[in-house]
């Protein structure tokens, strides 16, 4: 791993997660380190050669070696995962929509700004 690489964890393992993994694999400045998902986790990790797999995204967020979390879960989960990731000190990339309500989207933005 080069020092200038961004180390990434993906939360989710369906359609959007494949696009994210493919993009990260094509970029020599990123390293796909971990994935968390509630279904097809093993298949996803094997397909994208992700070395660490978790059934619970909160366990993935405990990793000190992740810089960025790609949120690729159903829309109604975006808020909770984004807030948890920001509070864990991770940068956040979230599939659209950011959340399912304006209030939740504003909270995600506020937490991300607060956490830097």
User: Which residues have a catalytic role annotated?
Assistant: 96
Query: Quick one: which of 37, 71, 72 has its CA closest to 53?
Result: 37
In 4-73, which ranges are continuous DSSP H helix? 15-25, 41-47, 57-61
Radius of gyration of the chain (CA): 13
């Amino acid at each position: 791993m080069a020092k200038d690489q961004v180390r990434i964890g993906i939360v989710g393992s369906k359609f959007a997660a494949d696009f994210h993994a493919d993009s990260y694999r094509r970029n020599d400045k990123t390293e796909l380190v971990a994935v968390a998902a509630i279904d097809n986790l093993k298949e996803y990790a094997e397909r994208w050669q992700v070395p660490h797999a978790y059934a619970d995204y909160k366990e993935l967020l405990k990793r000190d070696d992740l810089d960025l979390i790609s949120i690729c879960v159903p829309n109604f989960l975006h808020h909770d995962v984004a807030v948890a990731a920001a509070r864990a000190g991770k940068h956040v990339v979230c599939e659209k929509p950011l959340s399912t309500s304006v209030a939740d989207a504003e909270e995600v933005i506020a937490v991300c700004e607060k956490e830097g």
